[in-house]
Structures are given as C-alpha cells and as structure tokens.
A and B are shown apart, each in its own frame.
Chain A
Amino acid sequence: MSELKTGTFSVSDLENVQINIGSIVGAIEKTAAEEGEVGPTVKPNISGLRDWDYKLLERYNPVYTPMCDQCCYCTFGTCDLTGNKEGACGINMEGHNAREFMLRVITGASAHSGHGRHLLHHLIDKYGADYPLKVGQTNIIAPNVQMVTGKKPETLGDLEGALSYVEEQLVQLLACVHVGQEGEAIDFESKAMHGGMLDHVGMEVSDIAQISCLEMPKADENAPLSEIGMGTIDSEKPVLLVIGHNVAGVTNIIDYMEDHDLTDKMELCGLCCTALDMTRYRTEGGDVPKAKVVGTLAKELKMIRSGVPDVIVVDEQCVRADVLREARELMMPVITTNDKIMYGLPDRSEDDIEDIIDDLKSGRDDGALILDFEKLGEVAPRLTQEMSKIRKEKGVVSLPTEEEFNELTSRCVHCLTCELECPTNLPISDAMTAAEEGDLRPFEILHDKCVACGRCEQACPKDIPVLNVIEKASQRVIREERGKVRVGRGQISDPEIREEGVNLVMGTTPGIIAMVGCSNYPDGTKDLYRIADEMLRRNYIVLMSGCSAMDLGMYQNDDGETLYEKYPAKFQKGNLINVGSCVSNSHITAATIKVAAIFAQRNITGNYEEIADYILNRVGAVGVAWGAYSQKASSIGTGCNRLGIPVILGPHGSKYRRALIGKPYEEDKWKVLDARNGETMDIPPAPEFLLTTAETIDEMMPMLAKNCIRPSDNNMGRMIKLTHYIELSEKYLGIMPDDWYKYVRNETDLPLARREEFLKKLEQEYGWDIDWNKKKIVSGPTSKLDVSAQPTNVERLCKEA
C-alpha cells in the first residue's frame, strides 16, 4: 500500500473501506517539531543523560549506608560484602547498594506509572482518546512530559506515547538489575537518576489525566478546604472507608451516593492519597468535597482497630497487607478493586450485585474482588448501610473496655521487648506504668508518634495488644483530631510563574520548600506544622503534597486556624499550596521547569540537561520528605535530584541507604562556567547536597535556608537568604553558622541590620580586608558578585567555550 507522509489529509466518500492505523508517532513528532525548538534529548535512553548525571555525581558523592551486608540475589550467594568486599559475581558493596537503590527507585516509578496506566485505560474507556487535557491556565500542559519526551500532549490519547516510553525505559532499567549486567556503582547511580526522571513523567501523566476528566481543581488558588481527622467521622452513620491511591473506582461510589441521596446519610472517608483525590473529585470551581480525609498510612491500622468502618474498599499502593485479616476480626467486609491487590479474594466482577451483597453481609465471604467499577459503585455504599445495621446489632467492638484496659496494663511485665522492636523505640513500658496509675498522657503522646505498625504486639511475650491499649488510652485526643486540608490544586499556572519567576531566580523570594511524602516521622506529626509555619513566616513558598499535605492540616494555631486557613494559596512568597496527591508531586518539578520556560524563555522540549542545569544553578528549591518511607518517595526524590533540586529526609530516610552529599572542603568542586564566555566562576557550596537526612527539625531549619542559596542570587536575594540562614541557625541551634562567610560576595550580601557586626567578624575572624570609611569589603570573598553572570555546569551551553 502507498505510504502517507506526515501532515494533514482528508478522506471522503469512502464505502466498504477498512482503514488500519498502526502508529501515528511520526505525525506527532512532526507536531512537536513544528511547535518550535527541540533539544538534543528527546526520549533519552538509559545513557542519554549520563554526562549530566556524572557531573552531578562528581560533586555530590553517593554515600552508602547498607542495611544488610550480604547479598542473596542469586544462587552463587549468599555473599558477604562487608567492608566493600566483592561477591561471587564480582559486584562489591558499593555496586550492590547502588543497584538496590536503583531498584527501589524503579519500583517507585513503576508504582506511579502502573497507576497512571490503569487510570489512563479507564479514563480513555470512559471519555475517549480525544478528550482534551485541561489543567488550568497554561500553555505548557505537561512540563515533565514535554521536557523528557519532546511532545506536547493535548488529549488523553497523547499521553499514551509518554507512558509507553516510561514503561519501555523501566523494563530496560530493570534488566540492568540482573546479575552480570551493570557492575559499577556510578552507572547504577546514573540509572537510578533515569528512573527518578521517568517517575515524574509517569506521575504527571496520571495526574493531568485525572485532573482533566474528573473535574478536579485546575491550578486553582481558591481550591476549597476539606475536613480531615479521625475526629471528623460520625460513627453513628454507616461508614465506608477507602484506602489507597487510585481514585478511579471511588468516583463511581461518589456518583452512586449522590444519585441515591446517600451523601448525608453515610460517611465516605479515606486514607492516603485516594482520600486526597476523592476530595478533588468534582470540586473544580469550588464545590464542596464529597468525602472526608481520615489521614495517612499511619492511621490505617488505628482506623480499622477503632471498629468504626463498616466496609473497607482498597485500591493500590500503601495499603497494609493485613487489612483483610484485621477487618475479618471486626466483621468489616473488604472489597479489593485493583489487580495489584487481591488478597486471595474471589473475583465477583461478573456476578450479580444482590448475590455479592448477600454473600458479604451474611459473612459467607470476608470480601470480594470487584474490578467492574459500575458494580463497585453500587455494592460498596449499599453494603455499608447493611453492615452498619448488622454490626450495631451484634455490638461489634474492637478496643478494650475499661476493665480489659486495666487488666492489660497490669499484665505488662516491663520486659522492654516491645520497645526494642518498635521502629522508633517508643517508651511503651513507662506508659503502661503511668496508665496503671491513672495517667493516660504518656499514651496520648505515644499515639501521635506511633505509626501503627503493630510490631510491638508481635513481640510482646504477654500477648498484650499494645496498639489497642494505646488507642484506647487516647480516645480523648482522637476525638479532637479534626482539621482542614486544602484540596489539591494541581499545577502552578503560567501567570503565577510569570509573576514570581523573577523573584525566585533573583532570590528575593527566598525559596520554595516542598514538603512531600509519607508519614514515617521521627517525632510525631506536629513537626510538619512547625516547619511550614516557620518558613511561611519567612516568606518562603511552601508546597505540600500527599501524606504531608494531610498531616499539616491537623493542627490549629492559637486562633483556631490551620495553616491552610491562615495562608493564601497562590504561587508567591509566603503562600501555602497543596498540589495534591502523590502523583501531583510532578507539579512541583513542573513549577521549576516552568520558571526556566516562562521566566527565562528556555526551550524545554527534549531539553532536559539545559533545564536541570538552569534549576540547579538558579532556582532555590528544597524538597523535604520528613516521613518518607516508600519506594515511591525514593523515586520522587531522585527525580528531583536529577533536575537539580536537593531533598532532605528525616532520620528514617537513612534507611534508603544512599545519600548524595557534596564536600564543601573540596574547593575545585564548587566552580561553574559563565555561559557568556566560558570562564570558570567560583560558587559557594550551595546546594551542599542532593540527598541527605537531618536528625531533628531544629537541625533541618537552617539547612533549608542555606540550601535555597543559588549562584544566581542578586545581592538583595543573597542578603535575604543569608539572613534567614543565620537567623534560623541562631534560633534552632543557638549558634552563628561557621560557614556563613562563604556565601558573602560583597558587603551588599550581608544582612542589612547587622552589616557592621558582620564586617567586623569578617575582618577579625576570617582576615578579610575591610575599608571602614566606605564600609566595603576590599578583599576576602572567593565568589564574586556579578548579576549578569550565567552560571552553568554544561560546557556546550557557553558562548565561547
């Protein structure tokens, strides 16, 4: 048959003709090219951005802290790699740990893009491949997709190509994990970066698809507020609890409830990102959220053990493996709705709705797999109403009674086994003693710090259900757990970037603090509030997502306001934004990409390296994943890292076993080129790391300010950033930082109110030459202030390199 060239053509007056279209990739690529400039890395393969990764890794060295010194990947093993020894296949400890880190990253990326694929299938089925993508006021609908794949998607169908690319690359990366493939740590690291980059493409596909189809807020600074907390759930009503990340099936439940006038008659509530996405569903334009958020993964077992839910629906990701076993004890039927989690339940997708409801309410089955969302939409709410009656009649209770509670606390022999097993070594034994004496406060404090993992119960030689004891003791505080979270708004709009981009690059907005990730905090949930409040008062832009976004909404200030109520939600200094669920993290990287595209007019299409280089050197943004626990968090973070955004983790983050830390004392590492002429410029060590941990938030506060410093700051910007760094160090550590002088290029960089004091210090402690008549620095600084310099790490971007 004849071959069609790219372009448009029309076919009319055909009869009895079958047209087969194989792939229209060429045509789409042409479209992208017609849009304008295309950079050198359209759909980069595994080695496509290796040079860039090597540049980053040369400055930011991988730091491995293995969690297991052995390897048991293949039947040559088990191999002892202690002390960086080699295993039977020749891989050493560094290589093995880099391999494991990469595996973690691509597992996370697969979870997001698998989720995206499922959603996309579902939405294309429902809305058609031509359904237009609508994400708000923007000309760059999908910055990550466009930057990486070189294409500007406009319809749901256009997203398929981006996702296919991600899937293909993930297979290639997974292949490298096989024994006898990659051997060097540095190339596993580069591959991990590749996986992280892919993750942001996969997340972006997932989120813009659902934003477009499910009437979610579209870059809306006025997105509504939703209720959050265990205390907001009315347990007198039938309660349907949803757990997971994929809102597809839940939308059918919400629709059914509305159509059947059930919305006020029962409670629909959720845990983890499904909860966040339920509140986004059909709230475009400010409508009230149709569900409540219970909280994060750390509330999963607590909520089930409360006995409040009548039915549980799970979809995918971050769902405990024992939900069915736990729920069974409490007569809560479990419906699984996604083939990633099926719990061994019978597939009832094809069965009659009445039969399914009968089998579940009679207790013949503990649960059902229902992959048909129409059916799910009807079964779940109807069953919830039935189960509520049945469970109330049977008087199903979960937590111990007062007497049982007293018996349990006195049964404790204070052997401390539970404390040694507890991931954070919480002081359970002392709390038992206090409770015996009638003081429940220690348990109430534990309740907030406990992530409800259940390990203590598994360990207790006296069979004390420790978590139930904690929860029983904490009923008072649980009732008070009521807050507000702003519904996820999705992208940052073009007009917002246009206004704020200049302030970010010059530094007059001191930086973006993006608080993302899960709830494995070292010291309870309130830390998030403290971080956000401090940084907002200092005019940083604070972006939230996922479980962190939820926990932030759990606290009120003295006026009874949550931070979401206190601070406006525009993308500008001193504002607080919730972008949305896990997959909405792509909008955080997207915002930085858009600064390069809109403010600096850089081409982003297929132009990863240049954009990452721009962000590393000019956009002061730091990610915080204070309670990161998941593989997804490692891929989100690594995607940020490749794009030049540093990330700080809480102390549990050390269990990711790999950090990327620079050495400020290696002076040759802190140099860049000036793109105007290719000359070398000294820069201060900022950011100092791409991935590290902090022990406490008091330690982290000054780290945040310091690592928002960028070579491009103008003097006003540097002065503002340095002021915050010094002030936060003084406030939280009680000291003047000992490296503050490295960030001073001339006297105008010094905090205005304390200029004289600091000039004196520079003269006396660091031997700098000061002209006291003019109050000017004569000599001393290593880096120079030149506002028109164009810092870059990429030689080819220099004019006369």
Chain B
Amino acid sequence: MADVSKNLKVYTTYGPKSARGTKPAIVAKMIEKAKRPLFVVGSEVLEEKLLARAQAIAKKGIPVAATGHSIKGFIDEEGVDAKYINIHFLGSFLCDPKWAGLDDNGCYDLIILLGHKKYYINQVLSGLKNFSDLKTINIGKHYTQNATLSFGNVTPEVHLEALDELIDNL
C-alpha cells in the first residue's frame, strides 16, 4: 500500500515551485552538457576545506563568478578563471539576454552555486526563477527552494563528501 502521508511538512515557503533534490553525479552530467556554465561562489566558500573543493571545481574549466569577497580565495590559482562581481548585480545581469557575460562571450545557460548565505542566495535565485529561464543548481549544504536543483540540508561532513564525488565525476 502506498504511504502518501510522509514528507508533507513545509517549513517556510516561497510558493508552489520548489527545487528538486539532486545528487553529485547528476550535477556533473548537467555541467558537462552545458554550453556556458558559470560557477558562482559566495564568501562562505573561503572556509579552508570548502575552498579546496571550490578551487578543484573551478580548475575543471568552469568560469567563476566570485561574489562577496570570495575572490580572495581564487587569486593566483593556476587554471582558474575567476572574476569578482556583486551577486545582486549578477542576478540582475543574468536576467538580461543582452548581457555579454563576465568575459564578453555571451550569457550563461547553467549556474552552479556554492558557499552562500542561505537566505541571501534564496532571494537572488528567486529573481532568476521568476524572471529568467536559467537553470540553477545549489551545491551548498542548505536546501534552497528557489534553485532549479539543490542539495538537501546536509551535515558539513556529508557535504564535503558530495563535493568530492562531484569533482571525481567532472
């Protein structure tokens, strides 16, 4: 008999559309398929263990939008193409098809997010969800409803494991 009574709890909600849960292997596939992925990192990425993973992801050839003061973790890293931008500005530009991107090579088709304050990134993603067709994936340790796909709420240990798995798959 199908148990339809499970998992009905909603905490606070932004509305009817919610991010689907996702796994590292799926994220890796989506990044591979994307033509213009952008890896958007926030200041919380500067925590040592997280930073090592973020740099490793960047070194797989994905351009980095370093928001907050996260750029500090990417300066002089070989094989990393990182530029500073304010995330509220980035959120605005990403909704504009005329924007040429951080490198003048055109707008992006997939946004991968890591190291952001949960409430802050949820707001930025809410703009993208409502006013753009972009696909967004949050690979941070908090579930963010407004992404297209998101990791769930996980402990720091499980989170690092998931990131390692993602790096291995890229």
Which residues of A does B touch, CB under 8 Å? 61, 63-70, 80-84, 93-94, 416, 420-421, 423-425, 522, 651-652, 654-655, 657, 659, 661, 663, 665-666, 688-689, 692-696, 698-699, 703, 732-735, 737-738
Contacts and interface: CB of A to CB of B under 8 A. Distances in A.
B87 interface: yes
Nearest to A660: B92
- B92, B100, B129 interface centre (most CB from chain A within 10 Å): B92
B123 A695 contact: no
B128 to A, nearest CB: 9
B23 interface: no
Nearest to A664: B89
A69 B14 contact: yes
A420 B43 contact: no
Nearest to A666: B98
B23 to A, nearest CB: 21
Given A65-B126, A654-B123, A734-B75, A695 B131 contact: no
Contact of A696 (B68, B118, B124): B68
Interface string B99-128: 110000000000000001111100110110
B86 to A, nearest CB: 7
Given A69-B14, A84-B130, A699-B43, A733 B88 contact: no
B86 A651 contact: no
A65 B42 contact: no
Given A69-B15, A737-B84, 9 more contacts: A68-B13, A82-B17, A522-B117, A694-B86, A695-B116, A695-B120, A696-B69, A698-B69, A703-B86
A693 B126 contact: no
Contacts of B43: 695-696, 698-699
26 contacts: A63-B91, A63-B95, A66-B15, A67-B126, A69-B126, A80-B16, A83-B17, A94-B131, A424-B117, A654-B124, A655-B119, A659-B92, A661-B88, A663-B92, A663-B96, A665-B99, A665-B100, A692-B88, A692-B89, A693-B120, A695-B43, A695-B116, A733-B69, A735-B71, A738-B83, A738-B84
B120 A663 contact: no
| Closest 10 pairs between A and B when the two form their complex, measured CB to CB | A69-B15, A695-B68, A698-B69, A654-B123, A65-B127, A651-B120, A65-B123, A63-B92, A734-B72, A661-B92
- A67, A689, A703 interface centre (most CB from chain B within 10 Å): A67
Contacts of A688: 89
B84 A68 contact: no
Interface string B128-139: 011100000000
Contacts of A424: 117, 119
Contacts, number: 138
B21 to A, nearest CB: 16
A651 B118 CA distance: 10
B43 to A, nearest CB: 5
A651 B15 contact: no
A655 B93 CA distance: 19
B153 A420 contact: yes
A544 to B, nearest CB: 24
Interface of B: 11, 13-17, 42-43, 67-69, 71-72, 75, 83-84, 86-89, 91-93, 95-96, 98-100, 116-120, 123-124, 126-127, 129-131, 142, 153
B72 to A, nearest CB: 5
Contacts of B89: 661, 688-689, 692
A733 B72 contact: yes
A741 to B, nearest CB: 15
A522 B119 CA distance: 10
Contacts of A738: 83-84
Contacts of A416: 153
A64 B131 CA distance: 8
B92 A695 contact: no
Contacts of A732: 69
A63 B130 contact: no
A70 B69 contact: no
A731 B164 CA distance: 32
A695 B14 contact: no
Contacts of A420: 11, 142, 153
A655 B119 CA distance: 8
A654 B125 CA distance: 11
- B87, B95, B123 interface centre (most CB from chain A within 10 Å): B123
A70 to B, nearest CB: 5
B49 to A, nearest CB: 15
- A69, A84, A423, A659 interface centre (most CB from chain B within 10 Å): A69
A48 B92 CA distance: 29
Contacts of B67: 695, 699
Contacts of A65: 91, 123-124, 126-127
Contacts of B92: 61, 63, 659, 661, 663
Contact of B123 (A67, A689, A735): A67
Nearest to A654: B123
A61 B95 CA distance: 12
A735 B84 CA distance: 9
Contact of A68 (B14, B99, B116, B129): B14
A93 B16 contact: no
A521 B78 CA distance: 35
Nearest to B96: A663
Contact of B88 (A66, A654, A663, A698): A654
A764 B113 CA distance: 34
Nearest to B143: A420
A84 B92 CA distance: 15
Nearest to A414: B155
A566 B83 CA distance: 38
B119 A423 contact: yes
